[in-house]
Amino acid sequence: MKKLFHVLFALASLALVVEVIRDSYFFLSPNSPDPSFRIILIEPGNFIKTSDLLYKEGLIKDSKRFFWLARLLRMSSKVRVGEYEVKMDMSPFDILKVITSGKSVLHAVHIPEGFNIDQIADDLASKNLVDRTEFINLAKDTKMAKLLGINDISLEGYLYPETYSFTHFTGERVILKTMVEKFKEVYSREIKFAAERQKASMHDVVVLASMIEKETGAPEERPIISSVFHNRLKLKMLLQSDPTVIYGKKTERMNITKADLLTPTPYNTYTRKGLPAGPISNPGKNSLLAAIEPADTKYLYFVSRNNGTHYFSATYAEHNQAVKVYQQNAAARRGKSWRDLGKNKQ
């Protein structure tokens, strides 16, 4: 009887050794010699779901074995939600280390200067980084703005244009917070003290900068555009900025009708005195600086020269002449509309 027990014990020990060897071979050997990369998305859920995903993606040969070995090593509870880059020739153990690292794949997204909230939402949503509607609702919510330290009706103007890196799980709130924090950093470092010397509020600086950003794409013109607006404000003239009319209509349509100019909105500077109710875009550092450091000019008018720059005038008579030359002359505009200029850039 004792001999039989020893035999059974020996067989059980051998089986255990064999199983340990099989598990070790499985856990430390790659499923494929293919060195290519694969992006896997680990979503919220139990570890069984994760094991099944790895099996379906061809990264492991046995989902159940992987599940139990990870639990045995007490690593299954350490798996973090995220998007991970793994190689097909990685061992299951190396894959497990990756998905428990929390180092999710980052997606670079560039927010151009002058984008408004809707445009930013479109860009982020196209990369599957946000839910477009949720992002817009939060960005335009006064409570959310105050929560992030912005005393304005929305976050328009305070989402700093920059290149950011986000994951698919960063979320709308964190993305908004990141962009606002970047704005605060730039404003505090570059703008704040000059604005305070001029007794200009952050709100007014951002509003004016957002207009400058939308009026010109030529960097050298920003201080001159700013000087026109400053000169008009001093003389209590209407600012008459077309981009404010477009923003007030909540459309990106470039052409404006006479009826549009005459329709009052909180943003229409053809009918509203002073600055519009709030920012109309999200300006970059150079436009913010231009808002508080305008060029020293006597200009009161400007008109597009159809090439991305403007002709500036100090008198209404000179301005009317410029309008005839650049806008009422069909030959001067032919092939130089914003649509044609966009085609030439492609």
Indicate if 126 and 187 belong to the same structural domain: yes
Please check whether residue 268 is in contact with residue 261, taking contact to mean a CB–CB distance below 8 angstroms.
yes
**Residue 250 in 3-state DSSP?**
coil
- Per the document, the length of the chain is 346
- Taking Cα atoms as reference points, which of 71, 72, 74, 80 lies closest to residue 40? 80
- Taking Cα atoms as reference points, which of 142, 286, 271, 303 lies closest to residue 209? 286
Indicate if 72 and 136 belong to the same structural domain: no
Indicate if 133 and 237 belong to the same structural domain: yes
Chain Cα centroid distance, residue 192 = 24
Indicate the pLDDT class of residue 257, thresholds 50, 70 and 90.
confident
Other Cβ atoms less than 10 A from the Cβ of 181: the count is 14
- Taking Cα atoms as reference points, which of 146, 145, 129 lies closest to residue 137? 145
Please check whether residue 42 is in contact with residue 84, taking contact to mean a CB–CB distance below 8 angstroms.
yes
Residue at 293 is within a domain: yes
Residue at 234 is within a domain: yes
Indicate if 201 and 58 belong to the same structural domain: no
For residue 183, the enclosing domain spans: 117-299
Helices then strands, each counted (H, E), the chain: 17, 6
Structure tokens at 284: 């970059």
Residue at 343 is within a domain: no
Indicate if 233 and 161 belong to the same structural domain: yes
Indicate if 93 and 123 belong to the same structural domain: no
Indicate if 30 and 150 belong to the same structural domain: no
* DSSP state at residue 78: G
Indicate if 268 and 124 belong to the same structural domain: yes
The domain total for the chain is 2
Indicate if 273 and 128 belong to the same structural domain: yes
Other Cβ atoms less than 10 A from the Cβ of 78: the count is 15
Last residue of a domain, one of 299, 315, 337: 299
Indicate if 170 and 60 belong to the same structural domain: no
Residue at 105 is within a domain: no
Residue at 76 is within a domain: yes
Residue at 104 is within a domain: no
Indicate the pLDDT class of residue 337, thresholds 50, 70 and 90.
very low
Indicate if 79 and 157 belong to the same structural domain: no
Residue at 107 is within a domain: no
Percent of the chain with pLDDT over 70: 86
Tell me the average pLDDT of the chain.
Answer: 86
Q: What is the pLDDT of residues 12-71, one digit of tens each?
A: 444 444 455 565 656 667 777 778 888 888 888 888 888 898 888 888 888 888 788 888
Last residue of a domain, one of 71, 99, 127: 99
Indicate if 123 and 84 belong to the same structural domain: no
